[in-house]
Each structure stands twice: as structure tokens, then as C-alpha cells.
């Protein structure tokens, strides 16, 4: 049986120039490079320059993906952009990117699922393609979390970074089984009972300010290590694949200990795990496409590889996807 698949064409990414080492935080906070590395695996992260907005980072990643695909912006039917740090409350950051890259037609919108945002955006783009509403869609994850940090809170401000990643998907005919290229399964979950574990203490309809990120790190950690392994299994079960068939686990890059635990529970050796958390920190919705694009640029992700992606964040919201490159 022939089915429509959302198949990957190319990916791209952008990291702001400013590198911030762990040691920089020791000037103002009671923390250390040793603690940050031991508890999170993070060595450094990038922060956007004052003039750079989330849309600027996203547009750079979008241009990189288009260049790698050998495509023009006019060939895109839609942009689905995941962010929790939009330029403004509205218009959507996606429409700014649409304009910045010179995409005249089609449509663009944002998706909000914080660190799980890329999974939600991928799911949305996949649905647009398989239902025939769009042929070619750019999925972007872009964040400037440095703008919502409380610099006096050592439990959060050392963990996050800025960046953007983009993935172009296009409709392709497939056989309808796990050998097809493209998005093979996406599993999403959320549970608003956990809103208070990870949130921003502001917003237009509450404080009329953007607010700062607040997190009960230990509790989020506990949810992450159980929920990510469960949803990763769901995504593989859906397509009848075993973990031994996975070429790369591309996890949300929040904490190396969470990544190692999920890999173990999913039955994947660390040689098959994409790890960029040491260099990028937690870039929320940008982390998966950033990691994927870096690995692809290094020649490590090849046509036909089965990728398993997973993420969890504020909401709580979490999800996983299986996609053949
Ligand atoms: O992307 C969205 C999803 N987010 C996540 O996945 C993050 C999940 N959580 C985590 O990654 C970890 O929980 C953290 C890295 C945030 C923290 O690691 P932890 O092992 O859970 O540490 P903890 O929060 O239990 O804190 C241990 C100690 C505390 O001191 P006491 O209470 O034991 O005296 C903290 O006050 O470490 C202290 N601490 C720090 N010490 C030095 C917290 N932050 C720091 C710091 N430097 N930056």
C-alpha cells in the first residue's frame, strides 16, 4: 500500500557567537565548573547578542537548511516553529522568519510546548504533509532562554543556552512500513497537573511581563527518566521496531545523566546517542534539531538511518518520534 510520508530533505542550525564557560558563573554565584559538569554534563553554552532575537537565530538556521537542501524559500509551503521565547507575544515568531528568509506565500505559525516543542512541531508538520495540506514544511526549534533567566538562581541559570535548528520535510511516497524514509511515528503526551514544576513566573495575561524561568529540577529529573524511556518505547512499538534497529538516539539535551538513563532503559549503547549538551547546554525546543544538524554536518547521520528522538519539558509535555533519514 502506498502512503504519504514526511521525508527529511536537509537540516541546518545556528549558534550565537558568544561562548559562556561554566567558570563565568562562579564570579557571581556560589557554584563551580565541577558541580555544573557533574550534575548536568554542561561545559559551556552560547548566548545571543543583545540585538539578536529568537527570529534572527531561527532565520539563520532556516537559511542554513535551505542552502544544504539547495532550495529557495519560495519552495516551502509552511513553517512550523517551536519556541517558548518568542520575539513578542504576537505576531508569531514563525511569520517573522517567513519574512526574513523571503518566503512570500504559504503560511507560518508557532507551537508552544517548551522543551518538547520540537516533537510537537514535528508532529504538526507531519500531519500537514500526510493529509496533503502542505507538501514541503520547515520545522524550526529556536530559543533565547538567556532572556528568561533569573541570574541569581544557580539552580536554573547555569543550565540553559540559546540556539536554533531547522529541518525541512517533504512529501514522499512510501510503502507504509518501517523501511520508508520519513516520519514513521510520533507519540505526544502532556499532563498539566505538573505545571508548577517548570514554568515562567510571568506572562501577558498574568503579570504583563515576560517573567523568569522557575524549576523544581529534582522533580523534573525524576519525571524525565521514567517518561522519556516510556514514550521512546511507544514510538518504536508503533512501527514494530526493536531498539537494535535504531541507528541514532537524538534526545533533548537537558542533562547528560537523563540522556544516559534513557539510553540504558531504551537498550541503546552510548555510541548510538547524539550528545551536544556539553557544548550547547539546554536550548529547549532548539536542542534536538541543533543536535541532529551538527551530527549530520559531521557526516554521522546517513540516508536510511533510523532516528529515535525524544524530549520533555514544561507542562509537563513530552514526546518521541521515529524517523528514517
Ligand atoms: O529541559 C526541560 C527539562 N529540564 C530538565 O530536564 C532538568 C531536570 N533536572 C536536572 O537536570 C537536575 O535536577 C539539575 C541539574 C537541575 C540539578 O541536579 P540534581 O542532582 O537534581 O541537584 P539538586 O537540585 O537535587 O541539588 C543538589 C544540591 C542542592 O543543595 P542541597 O539542598 O543538597 O544543599 C542545591 O542547592 O546542589 C545545589 N545546587 C547547586 N550547587 C552548586 C543547585 N544548583 C547548584 C549550582 N551549583 N549551580
CATH number for the domain spanning 167: value is: 3.40.47.10
Helix and strand numbers, DSSP H then E, in the chain: 8, 13
pLDDT computed for residue 213 by the predictor? 98
Give 73's DSSP letter.
G
Pocket of ligand 1 from Cβ distances under 6 Å = 31, 35-36, 39-40, 115, 154-155, 158-159, 217-218, 220-221, 224, 254-255, 258, 282, 312-313
pLDDT > 80? residue 1: no
99 catalytic, yes or no? Answer: no
Looking at the fold, whether 117 and 246 belong to one and the same domain comes out as no
Measured at the alpha carbon of residue 22, what is the angle toward residues 17 and 24, in degrees to the nearest 5?
Answer: 80
Q: Which of 145, 174, 203 is the last residue of a domain?
A: 174
How many domains does one find in the chain? 2
Looking at the fold, whether 17 and 150 belong to one and the same domain comes out as yes
Q: What percent of the chain has pLDDT over 90?
A: 99
Give tens-digit pLDDT for 16-29. 999 999 999 999 99
Q: In DSSP terms, which residues pair with 3 in a beta bridge? A: 174
Q: Which of 174, 195, 212 is the last residue of a domain?
A: 174
> How many alpha carbons fall within 13 Å on the CB side of residue 29?
18
pLDDT computed for residue 108 by the predictor? 98
Average pLDDT, the chain: 98
Looking at the fold, whether 66 and 135 belong to one and the same domain comes out as yes
Determine contact, residues 6/129, Cβ cutoff 8 Å. Answer: yes
> Domain residues for 145?
3-174
List phi, psi (to 5°) of 300. -90, -25
Looking at the fold, whether 256 and 297 belong to one and the same domain comes out as yes
**C-alpha cell read off for 162:** 540559546
Determine contact, residues 173/3, Cβ cutoff 8 Å. Answer: yes
Would you say the pTM of this structure is higher than 0.95? yes
Give tens-digit pLDDT for 108-120. 999 999 999 999 9
Catalytic residue among 11, 13, 115, 255: 115
| Average pLDDT value for residue range 192-219 | 97
Q: Which of 117, 199, 210, 204 is nearest to 165 (CA)?
A: 117
Amino acid at each position: 500500500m502506498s502512503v504519504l510520508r514526511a521525508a527529511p530533505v536537509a537540516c541546518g542550525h545556528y549558534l550565537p557567537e558568544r561562548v559562556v564557560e561554566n567558570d563565568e558563573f562562579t564570579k557571581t554565584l556560589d557554584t563551580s565548573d565541577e558541580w555544573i559538569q557533574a550534575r548536568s554534563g554542561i561545559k559551556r553554552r552560547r548566548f545571543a547578542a543583545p540585538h539578536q532575537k529568537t527570529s534572527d537565530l531561527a532565520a539563520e538556521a532556516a537559511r542554513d537548511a535551505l542552502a544544504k537542501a539547495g532550495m529557495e524559500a519560495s519552495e516551502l509551503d509552511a513553517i512550523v516553529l517551536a519556541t517558548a521565547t518568542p520575539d513578542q507575544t504576537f505576531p508569531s515568531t514563525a511569520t517573522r522568519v517567513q519574512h526574513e528568509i523571503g518566503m512570500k506565500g504559504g503560511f507560518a505559525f508557532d507551537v508552544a510546548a517548551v522543551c518538547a516543542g520540537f516533537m510537537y512541531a514535528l508532529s504538526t508538520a507531519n500531519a500537514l504533509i500526510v493529509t496533503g495540506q502542505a507538501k514541503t514544511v520547515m520545522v524550526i526549534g529556536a530559543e533565547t532562554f538567556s532572556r528568561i533567566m533569573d541570574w541569581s538562581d544557580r539552580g536554573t541559570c547555569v543550565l540553559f543556552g540559546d540556539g536554533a535548528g531547522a529541518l525541512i520535510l517533504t512529501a514522499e511516497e512510501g510503502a507504509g512500513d518501517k523501511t520508508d524514509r520519513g516520519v514513521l511515528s510520533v507519540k505526544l503526551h502532556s499532563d498539566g497537573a505538573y505545571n508548577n514544576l517548570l514554568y515562567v513566573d510571568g506572562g501577558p495575561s498574568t503579570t504583563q511581563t515576560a517573567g523568569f524561568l522557575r524549576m523544581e529540577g529534582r522533580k523534573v529529573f525524576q519525571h524525565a527518566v521514567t517518561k522519556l524511556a516510556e514514550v521512546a518505547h511507544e514510538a518504536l512499538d508503533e512501527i514494530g521496531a526493536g531498539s537494535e534497529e535504531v541507528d541514532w538516539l537524538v534526545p533533548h539535551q537537558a542533562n547528560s545523566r537523563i540522556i544516559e538513563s534513557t539510553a540504558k532503559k531504551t537498550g541503546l549503547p552510548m555510541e548510538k546517542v547524539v550528545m551536544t549538551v556539553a557544548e550547547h547546554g539546554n536550548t529547549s525546543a532548539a536542542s534536538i534539531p541543533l543536535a541532529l544538524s551538527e551530527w549530520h554536518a559531521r557526516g554521522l547521520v546517513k540516508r536510511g538511518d533510523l532516528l529515535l528522538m525524544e524530549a520533555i519539558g514544561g507542562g509537563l509535555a513530552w514526546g518521541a518520534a521515529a524517523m528514517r533519514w
